[in-house]
Amino acid sequence: MFYGTILEVMEVVYIRGRKVLVFRYQWFKSMPNSNSIFEQYNLTSINIKSSWYEDQLYILAMQARQVFCLPNLKRGDN
């Protein structure tokens, strides 16, 4: 699973009128068994200070899943 923040939403319009939504992301490092991701009580905490995949910024809208994010008061601001 990959986690990130949407930086920009773009609509690509092809010659014959077909439209596709593309998201530009900032990806967060989310490797299991590292200090960047922590799972407990069916909740996932991600360290947002470490970026990942900086050369692969774009995905199609149909590849994304919306999640609800909150600060983790127990683990700090990051």
- Cβ distance 11 to 40 under 8 Å? no
Question: pLDDT grade, residue 33 (50/70/90)?
Answer: low
What does the pLDDT average to over 31-39?
Answer: 67
- Distance from C-alpha of 72 to C-alpha of 44, rounded to nearest angstrom: 10
Domain boundaries, the chain: 3-63
Q: List the beta bridge partners of residue 38.
A: 45
Q: Write down the pLDDT at residue 32.
A: 64
Is the pLDDT at 38 greater than 80? The verdict is no
- Distance from C-alpha of 42 to C-alpha of 60, rounded to nearest angstrom: 27
What does the pLDDT average to over 45-65?
Answer: 77
- Distance from C-alpha of 77 to C-alpha of 12, rounded to nearest angstrom: 35
The total number of residues written for the chain in this structure: 78
Cβ count within 10 A of residue 51: 11
